[in-house]
A and B are shown apart, each in its own frame.
Chain A
Amino acid sequence: MKVDLSTSWMGIPLPHPIVPGASPMSLDLDAARRLEDAGAPLLIMHSLFEEQVVGEELATRVAYDLHAESYAEATSYLPDPDLFSLGPDEYLEQLGKLKRALNIPIIASLNGVTQGGWLDYAMLLEQAGADGIELNVYDVVMNPDRDGRSVEREVIELVQALTIRTDVPIAVKLSPFYSSLPWFARQLAQAGAAGLVLFNRFFEPEIDPENLELQRHLAPSSHGELALRLRWTGILRDRVPCGLAITGGVRNGRDLVKSIMAGADTVQVVSVLLGQGPDRITSMLMEMAEWMEEQEYPSLRVMRGCMSIERCPKPAAYSRANYVKMITGWDAGLFRS
């Protein structure tokens, strides 16, 4: 039996669900080609950060303006600013190169949280050939004056702002830290999000105790991270009218199966590709296909969401009841030995 692995993401039909997630892999044309050769059906680019865009604008303004027009011998200190533009030039250039070099769809990734001028770059991304935009909402809320509703509202408005600026489909990559993810997810879908990506992973600060400094640290995802994503995919699958993707913790074909069963349309992989190479796409697919054949799943469509909260046999495991059972079932004898 030949299983049908086709799926779709953001309205784009795909031959299978394994998608290289946003990562430095898109910075290197050769790496991107290898991903395509290994069967990647779509590529999500590295992120264009709001801070990067705005920060460069401000830094350049200061570099040019702070000392200009203040001294008789020199009214400026750097070459004519009209000789260049600021903005996502390098990003657009790389997007253009990827589009020319690859035959698969390219999704651009915008990473930011505020309603700023940087959002206009969505139009430029579309013009440069992006087939979709993944909005990565990487927001560590630290202000005790910001309530949860306002945090959510700002993201919803971001999605609305993007849909005004561009006609390409938009996916939103979320963190798990929202008080009512189902309500929020539905609002995002209603605001125009074609898909939700669960979940982004934060840079965790590392402490340098000698120098009393914080250092940025991002470890590869681990298998243990998958459970959280499976739960929320399972909860959202049939309750939110948009596509779902899982990213984080998928290491093998069996993880793929679980992700699809929970309800994912696609699965984004990064750590496993960085660690084991692009060919891991093919081997994971084979693992999944073999399993499906064994289990007589004819297609991904049949398998997708079969273990969602609406369809799984004992949905309590997704909910609070599961917690009650786990706690009450604890056996004090575990400490004996």
Chain B
Amino acid sequence: MSRIVAVDGNEAVARVAHLLSEVVAIYPITPASAMGELADDWSCQGRKNLWGLVPKVVEMQSEAGAIGAVHGSLQAGSLTTTFTASQGLLLMIPTLYKIAGELTSFTLHVAARTVATHALSIFGDHSDVMACRQTGFAMLAAGSVQEAQDFAAVAHAASLESRVPFLHFFDGFRTSHEINTIDELPAEALEALIDDDAIVAHRQRALDPDAPFIRGTAQNPDAFFQAREACNPFYEACPGIVQQCFARFAELTGRRYELFQYHGHPEAERIIVLMGSGAKTAAETARKLAARGDKVGVVEVRLYRPFHAAAFLAALPATTRSIAVLDRTKEPGAGGEPLYLDCFAAIGEAAMQAGRSMPRIIGGRYGLSSKEFSPAMVARIFAELDRPQPKTRFTIGIKDDVTHLSLDVEEELHILGREVNQGIFFGLGSDGTVGANKNSIKIIADVAQLKAQAYFVYDSKKSGAVTTSHLRFGKDAVQAPYLIEAADFIGCHQYMFVDKVDVLERARPGGIFLLNAPYGPEEVFATLPVEMQRRIIDLGLEFYCIDAYKVADEAGMGNRINTVMQTAFFAISNVIETDRAIEAIKDAIRKTYGKKGHEIIKRNVAAVDSAVAHLHRVVVPAAPIGERQRPPVVPAEAPEFIQRVTATIMAGKGDLLPVSAFPADGTFPSSSARWERRNIARSIPAWNPDICIQCNKCALMCPHAAIRAGLLEPELAASAPGGFKTTEFRSRDLPDKRYVIQVAPEDCTGCTLCVEVCPARDKANPRVKALGMVDKDPILDQERANWDFFTAMPTTRREDVVLDHKGTQFLQPLFECSGACAGCGETPYVKLLSQLYGDRLVVANATGCSSIYGGNLPTTPWSTDAKGRGPAWSNSLFENNAEFGLGFRLSWDTRQREARALVEELREDIGLELAGSILTAPTGDDAAIEALRGLVERLEERLRSFAGRKRHDRLAILASSLVPRSVWLVGGDGWAYDIGFGGLDHVIASGENVNILVLDTEVYSNTGGQASKATPMAAAAKFAAAGKAMAKKDLGMVAMSYGGVYVAQIAIGAKDSHAVKAIREAESYPGPSLVIAYSHCIAHGYDLAQGAEQQKAAVKSYQWPLYRYDPRRGALGEPPLVLDSGPPSLDPQKYMAAETRFRVAEKIDPARYRMLVDHARDQARRKYELYRQLAGVAVEPSPESHA
């Protein structure tokens, strides 16, 4: 029996794949990660496949590794699958050729995602799958959640029967993450669909020593070509097999699919051809237009490879006059995009053979990186096809004012009737809005028996992220894979959005507006900006308010307002009777938290019970009250690019920017995050100079550079705004300076890490520290003025302070206000690098958290100093970062070598003294480097007088490379331990002078906490839910084995002086350096305000020993390894007990956990013994040794 379920595309596909597989090899990548995670969860829970076996799920070190394991498993005869997207799919390509070349039954499920080009994008288009169209894989495109499930099954069945491997794909995010009510495919139907004989045949083709053969030979010119052609019959048969599977599927389920499905007017003249979710929008629009008489239609491509030209031609109405073929990909320089070329060839060939003229065919691009594709755009394309001379190549959905390819969409078109109820909800990530909406969808589907659709849009920040939920529901299935354009209901779950987000932009006249506000119904309206008031009045909105934070707080729910707002929504939206809805919400709470304890249920239910009483209808006046307007997105003094481009994106209006607004090569200016005043903290730290001991730990540990230490002259302090606090600087070296700790009130995330690490207490009232959290609003104006004053102060020079854990914090951070998580454990290290080497720092950043908070639009935290210098940063890929960074070094060294040679060559023109000074200039410290900069400036000045002379001009271009560059290769443990390890290993073995900073969170943080080889024993992570059984890889020891690599393991929260010292030693080492930095993370599952304390516990329990291995010491006859933390002094169990990642493992299997902890304890002891012995090993230096 089938049943209706509300699931997203990933879950729908993963369920089928899990049922039909014996082995699953995966690697996490957005937006496909959830499929692998679900498969792993189900196998952990003992869920069986169709044949009663629990599939084996294995996480590999990369997608290349995953597909390698898949290939092997297939060759050994198992039904095998995997899931991936984007770069991951590209890493699989070599093996895809092999799998297809060997005619292996296999289905690969892809949540299609943009391939990184000028920029990375996690969102959806077909650029990844189109890069596989030549591999020999069949390609089956699903356009909806229902189809994603159904085609997953059809792909498995057809591959087994045809022996052609299948790439089943659906649109990343738009389908993979859309929740929709679908008809779940029963296991019996799957059983009936799959041909048992085909499985037997698959097994019989497997490697088996009892019936041996070899496969994977090398062939020569005499044989290869013919052998390659031998597969043709299989590809010729494949479309027919797919059609047969579709037919069998229809008999089993009633859902009919064609290789090419036609929708629209039976005598259509204008046709759009496309595939994926966009085809749903096009088909629905065509039906609507056809119903009013327009002769338009859509051909939806299901089986893209093998491309069955006859079936395609048969799907076109005989009346077809003109065709627009749409591709969701871009191939610069190609004669056309791939689907266009395929269609063109099919039609052209048919016309040629029949001696007929061809219909007009034009090609367009749409929807790159999940760009919206709406009914109005579809109508615009049909209109273009109606023109006498349509654009032969076009884009839709953007404004191209450079090459003028785009079609302007001026008219709105709403094809959904009022029978579909539509609601948009704005929330913050941490308030639970998305989770509540996912719940609401299930309630609406289960209780009201309505069909529902939900899609969620997230901004690019990890802290204080704005979430927008788009919910639709009605009596019939909702086929509308685009954002809501006219909402019946708008829920604004955060009052602060009224000044930041145009939440009513998509409200329809007469709709309902619900606002969570700290104001009562009488006063709230007047507090809104006038633009918003006017829109409420003009649209005639029903306006309700609720103080959800008050309700949640009273119920003991803290900031979690989700159930309060959910109750309020049901109370005023009339989707279901309020009482039934409330009961359903409570049931959902019990279901969600049933295994998580009674207290949570009790508090949630209490919040639900009191929500309705706090919900108020607001009487909307006839005219706006007051004149307060929405504040500008960025201040008026922001640079032009920030005003014109960045601010537009920040305001959520990036879709309106034309092509000309963007740099063509992905290059963006630094120093943009400072203009993004996010104001996400409700309370911020306040400084008490009388208590402060001037240790600067607060500034050192702040993940966002939002609290800073500064020094200023007394005269300047005297000119500070009233309320700007300073105190005497306690220093013998700089006795007359004033000391200040200043908070950036609008950038602070309120994580409280600074308060926790503050060691200074009031002697009379020790509860009071030098830093304490206070409500922000009352002091915001004052602190804003103070911050502006602080940032305008002259910055402290490196030469003037001791570059230790304290002195570095007087230096300007050139990494500030990132969108990293509140309390992030990575960013303090990155910020420290920027303080130590910012004006000559070059960063190669592996894809991951650090590349996202470092380089995700709209802004970057990488910044510049007063001279305009600052870190140069770039991200290539996840897997190649070490090699990428090595390339920086090679280039800089080459440029420097040439520059020095030119200085030598041109020394007489330059001046012998200047040339000599440059060539012999020391670079050992900042003062020397600053002096060298002066010499280079003189050189550049001198060279200007020789302008026009080739060798001199060449030196002028290269002169700046005479100043040393500090090259850092930065990335997480997923990169360093797993996917990039081969490259990292090679780079450290190269002997080149690169510095590697591994931000080790012991888990794949950015994709949601999957285990890496850095995950410690006994910690639970995705793919290691019951606790990792293998010890963490000792990456430092691997590097030490080369003998010539500087290696340090640091934990800034445990021993900040050591962290700073190690980073400085690493940078000074004239060869490869590896610094492994403990980085607490939200995936560890505790309040990150305690991050420094946990770091101390990690060190004490020897889960994270601190050390430095400096080959220079070996050359002096000293042991290169120095242990910087003592022997184990804390039971690892005590360290582990404070983190949910360990507690989860304990809860899942207590006995196993205890065994793992015992192992971890034993390992700590062994590791200490080993390190201790190594730290005692000194070898007499040989005469030729040198430091």
Give chain B residues whose Cβ lies under 8 Å from the Cβ of A60: 596-597, 1085, 1140, 1143
CB distance from A274 to the nearest CB of B (A): 20
**CB nearest to A73 among chain B residues:** B30
Stretch at the interface among A27-35, A37-45, A51-59, A281-289: A51-59
Cβ contact within 8 Å between A56 and B1143: yes
- Complex CA–CA separation, A61 to B460 (angstroms): 24
**CB nearest to B434 among chain A residues:** A69
Cβ contact within 8 Å between B458 and A72: yes
- Complex CA–CA separation, A201 to B45 (angstroms): 44
Pick the contact of A75: B34, B593, B1140 (CB < 8 A).
Answer: B34
Cβ contact within 8 Å between B1144 and A74: no
Decide if A316 is an interface residue (CB 8 Å cutoff). no
CB distance from B58 to the nearest CB of A (A): 16
Decide if A77 is an interface residue (CB 8 Å cutoff). yes
Decide if A63 is an interface residue (CB 8 Å cutoff). yes
Decide if B602 is an interface residue (CB 8 Å cutoff). yes
Give chain A residues whose Cβ lies under 8 Å from the Cβ of B1006: 73-74
Give chain A residues whose Cβ lies under 8 Å from the Cβ of B1083: 77-78
- Complex CA–CA separation, A77 to B1009 (angstroms): 5
Cβ contact within 8 Å between B596 and A77: no
Give chain A residues whose Cβ lies under 8 Å from the Cβ of B433: 69
Cβ contact within 8 Å between A116 and B599: yes
Which residue, of B34, B1024, B1141, B1144, has the highest number of chain A Cβ atoms within 10 A? B1144
Give chain B residues whose Cβ lies under 8 Å from the Cβ of A76: 1008-1009
Decide if A118 is an interface residue (CB 8 Å cutoff). yes
Cβ contact within 8 Å between B600 and A57: yes
Decide if B869 is an interface residue (CB 8 Å cutoff). no
Pick the contact of A86: B460, B596, B1086 (CB < 8 A).
Answer: B596
Known A-B contacts A69-B435, A85-B596, A120-B598; the reply to A62 vs B1147 at CB < 8 A is: no
Decide if B781 is an interface residue (CB 8 Å cutoff). no
Q: Give per-residue flags for B148-182: 1 if the beta carbon is below 8 A from chain A beta carbons, else 0.
A: 00000000000000000000000001000000000
- Complex CA–CA separation, A76 to B597 (angstroms): 20
The B1012-1069 residues at the A interface (CB cut-off 8 A) are 1020-1022, 1024-1026
- Complex CA–CA separation, A89 to B1150 (angstroms): 9
Cβ contact within 8 Å between B595 and A86: yes
Stretch at the interface among B201-209, B424-432, B979-987: B424-432
Give chain B residues whose Cβ lies under 8 Å from the Cβ of A57: 596-600
- Complex CA–CA separation, A73 to B85 (angstroms): 12
Cβ contact within 8 Å between B598 and A117: yes
Decide if A334 is an interface residue (CB 8 Å cutoff). no
Decide if A333 is an interface residue (CB 8 Å cutoff). no
- Complex CA–CA separation, A62 to B1090 (angstroms): 14
Decide if B122 is an interface residue (CB 8 Å cutoff). yes
- Complex CA–CA separation, A88 to B45 (angstroms): 21
CB distance from B372 to the nearest CB of A (A): 16
Give chain A residues whose Cβ lies under 8 Å from the Cβ of B601: 117
Pick the contact of B600: A58, A69, A213 (CB < 8 A).
Answer: A58
Decide if B96 is an interface residue (CB 8 Å cutoff). no
Decide if A144 is an interface residue (CB 8 Å cutoff). no
CB distance from B1025 to the nearest CB of A (A): 4
Decide if B966 is an interface residue (CB 8 Å cutoff). no
Interface size class of B (residues with CB under 8 A): 35 or more
Cβ contact within 8 Å between B1140 and A83: no
The B78-130 residues at the A interface (CB cut-off 8 A) are 122-123
Cβ contact within 8 Å between B1025 and A61: no
**CB nearest to B429 among chain A residues:** A70
Decide if A331 is an interface residue (CB 8 Å cutoff). no
Give chain B residues whose Cβ lies under 8 Å from the Cβ of A120: 598
Known A-B contacts A70-B430, A84-B595; the reply to A79 vs B465 at CB < 8 A is: no
**CB nearest to B1023 among chain A residues:** A79
Give chain A residues whose Cβ lies under 8 Å from the Cβ of B560: 65
**CB nearest to B766 among chain A residues:** A212
Decide if A82 is an interface residue (CB 8 Å cutoff). yes
Decide if B508 is an interface residue (CB 8 Å cutoff). no
**CB nearest to A50 among chain B residues:** B599
Decide if B1005 is an interface residue (CB 8 Å cutoff). yes
Cβ contact within 8 Å between B597 and A117: yes
Decide if B1087 is an interface residue (CB 8 Å cutoff). yes
CB distance from A145 to the nearest CB of B (A): 18
Known A-B contacts A77-B1009, A78-B1009, A118-B598; the reply to A67 vs B821 at CB < 8 A is: yes
CB distance from B277 to the nearest CB of A (A): 17
Pick the contact of A62: B435, B465, B1087 (CB < 8 A).
Answer: B1087
Pick the contact of A117: B31, B599, B1025 (CB < 8 A).
Answer: B599
Decide if A275 is an interface residue (CB 8 Å cutoff). no
CB distance from B893 to the nearest CB of A (A): 36
- Complex CA–CA separation, A180 to B34 (angstroms): 61
- Complex CA–CA separation, A279 to B1150 (angstroms): 32
Cβ contact within 8 Å between A71 and B462: yes
**CB nearest to A61 among chain B residues:** B600
- Complex CA–CA separation, A213 to B759 (angstroms): 12
- Complex CA–CA separation, A65 to B432 (angstroms): 7
- Complex CA–CA separation, A74 to B36 (angstroms): 13
Decide if B135 is an interface residue (CB 8 Å cutoff). no
Give chain A residues whose Cβ lies under 8 Å from the Cβ of B1150: 89-90, 93
CB distance from A287 to the nearest CB of B (A): 38
Give chain A residues whose Cβ lies under 8 Å from the Cβ of B45: 82-83
- Complex CA–CA separation, A57 to B31 (angstroms): 30
The B436-473 residues at the A interface (CB cut-off 8 A) are 438, 456, 458, 460-462, 465, 467
Cβ contact within 8 Å between A71 and B458: yes
Known A-B contacts A70-B430, A78-B1083; the reply to A59 vs B1140 at CB < 8 A is: yes
Pick the contact of A79: B593, B600, B1005, B1144 (CB < 8 A).
Answer: B1144
CB distance from B126 to the nearest CB of A (A): 19
Cβ contact within 8 Å between A70 and B1144: no
- Complex CA–CA separation, A241 to B498 (angstroms): 65
CB distance from B854 to the nearest CB of A (A): 15
Decide if A87 is an interface residue (CB 8 Å cutoff). yes
Decide if A329 is an interface residue (CB 8 Å cutoff). no
- Complex CA–CA separation, A68 to B462 (angstroms): 10
Decide if B44 is an interface residue (CB 8 Å cutoff). yes
Cβ contact within 8 Å between B1008 and A75: yes
The B550-602 residues at the A interface (CB cut-off 8 A) are 558, 560, 593, 595-602
Cβ contact within 8 Å between B595 and A78: no
**CB nearest to A90 among chain B residues:** B1150
Cβ contact within 8 Å between B430 and A66: yes
Decide if B321 is an interface residue (CB 8 Å cutoff). no
**CB nearest to B430 among chain A residues:** A66
- Complex CA–CA separation, A93 to B460 (angstroms): 44
- Complex CA–CA separation, A53 to B599 (angstroms): 9
Cβ contact within 8 Å between A78 and B465: no
Pick the contact of A59: B123, B429, B1082, B1086 (CB < 8 A).
Answer: B1086
Decide if B1007 is an interface residue (CB 8 Å cutoff). yes
Cβ contact within 8 Å between B1144 and A84: yes
Give chain B residues whose Cβ lies under 8 Å from the Cβ of A85: 595-596, 1147
Q: Give per-residue flags for A188-218: 1 if the beta carbon is below 8 A from chain B beta carbons, else 0.
A: 0000000000000000000000001100000
**CB nearest to B465 among chain A residues:** A70
Q: Give per-residue flags for A106-126: 1 if the beta carbon is below 8 A from chain B beta carbons, else 0.
A: 000000000011101000000
Give chain B residues whose Cβ lies under 8 Å from the Cβ of A63: 1085-1086, 1140
- Complex CA–CA separation, A81 to B593 (angstroms): 9
Decide if A80 is an interface residue (CB 8 Å cutoff). yes
CB distance from B1139 to the nearest CB of A (A): 8
Q: A77-B1009, A117-B601 are in contact. List 10 more A-B contacts (CB 8 A).
A: A59-B1086, A64-B1085, A67-B430, A75-B434, A77-B1083, A78-B1085, A79-B1020, A80-B44, A81-B596, A93-B1150
Q: Which 7 A-B pairs have the closest CB atoms?
A: A70-B429, A117-B598, A74-B1008, A57-B597, A63-B1085, A69-B434, A212-B766
Q: Chain A interface (Cβ within 8 Å of chain B)?
A: 53-54, 56-87, 89-90, 93, 116-118, 120, 212-213
- List, sorted by A's number, 18 A–B pairs whose CB atoms are closer than 8 Å: A57-B596, A57-B600, A69-B432, A69-B433, A71-B458, A72-B30, A72-B31, A75-B1008, A76-B1009, A78-B1022, A78-B1083, A83-B41, A83-B1025, A84-B1148, A86-B1147, A117-B597, A212-B763, A212-B766
